[in-house]
Amino acid sequence: MILLTGATGFLGSHVLYKLLLNGEKVRAIKRASSSLENIRRVFAFYGNENLSLIDKVEWVEADLLDVFTIEEAVKNIDEIYHCAALVSFNPKDKEAMLKINARGTENLVNTALEAGVKKFCHVSSIAALGRNTSKDIVTETTWWKPSPKNSDYSVSKYRAEREVWRASEEGLDVVIINPSVIIGPGDFTSGAYKIMQQAYKGIPFYTDGSTAFVDVRDVADAMIKLMKSDVKNQRFIVSAANITYRKFFDLLHDAFGKKRSFIRASKNIVQIVHYADKIKSIITGTEHIITADTVTAVSSSHLYDNAKLIAQLDLKYISIEQSVKEMCELFLKYKN
């Protein structure tokens, strides 16, 4: 039997669908307050006839920070797909991310070792890799460098990875994937979804930064193929393409029939907006949206190499254009 964490999230719901479609027996972790609505929407995207697959899931309520509930969840489990994580660039979430992403992963791999789990797939992030300081491209061997420029999220995912590598040294067979920015149909909660909401209204500004993107279905497929292979104790960048944020905004605006971004926002301008947003959040008591980490991210350019995984799996990625088109179509379907 397979244990899946983060099953109600964006990536986890796609992994859950593909595992069930393959006839796998899946035990999925959820919190008591978790809704299955996102899962229903994702399964319906693949076809309404797939909604009945949800009934095949063995749901278990557990908390990654509660070792006793994790021990119960891992009983009689052969493989673990670990998708659960807190993603945030808000400073107020620093401690929560360190607990959930790092300590939660530590608890899970320790329990997996004790329970004799055969293989463990950890969803990390390109944020846990070292960053190119010039024009060099980031690969799986570009190791982490401590820096004040590293976001709290990056630190939490790096620490989580260390726990997985440590567990591999202690006998747990693992594969680690480092996805780039995950997009695609079925995203109803993440930062990319918030960008979609803004693009639907129209985003006049663009920045000079760039990063890599990948469709959620490709990430789910890569995880399952790696787990079913003989590959172990390796990491893989999962990424379809390196593109600029301006290009990404253009694709969103085109999909919604909106005017493309036309005002260049330099890093200094973004920094000013960051301070203005910070003051607004203090005065109004609302959430701080444009954080210092956001400023760094949208103003930086990083390139990522996807050659290793392509060579390993002969993977053909869904184009970013198709991914954006389908994610926007699903957004329009449910936006009201």
pLDDT tens, residue order, the chain (336 aa) = 999 999 999 999 999 999 999 999 999 998 877 888 889 999 999 999 999 999 999 999 999 999 999 999 999 999 999 999 988 877 788 899 899 999 999 999 999 999 999 999 999 999 999 875 556 789 999 888 887 778 888 999 999 999 999 999 999 999 999 999 999 998 877 767 778 888 888 888 877 888 999 999 999 999 999 999 999 999 999 999 999 989 999 999 999 999 988 777 665 545 444 434 444 344 444 454 555 555 455 557 789 999 999 999 988 999 999 999 999 999 888 876
* Full-model pTM: 0.90
pLDDT at position 68 is 94
pLDDT at position 294 is 55
pLDDT at position 151 is 84
Within 10 A of 283 (CB to CB), how many other CB atoms are there? 8
Question: pLDDT digit string (tens) for 68-92?
Answer: 999 999 999 999 999 999 888 777 8
Name the superfamily (CATH) of residues 2-183+213-241+303-318: NAD(P)-binding Rossmann-like Domain (3.40.50.720)
Helix pair 37-45, 320-334: axis angle to 10 deg:
130
pLDDT at position 315 is 85
For residues 321 and 247, is the Cβ–Cβ distance under 8 A?
A: no
pLDDT at position 132 is 57
Ordered DSSP codes for 57-104: -EEEE--TT-HHHHHHHHTT-SEEEE--------GGGHHHHIIIIIIH
Q: How far is CA 183 from CA 4, 37, 97, 98, in A?
A: 20, 19, 21, 24
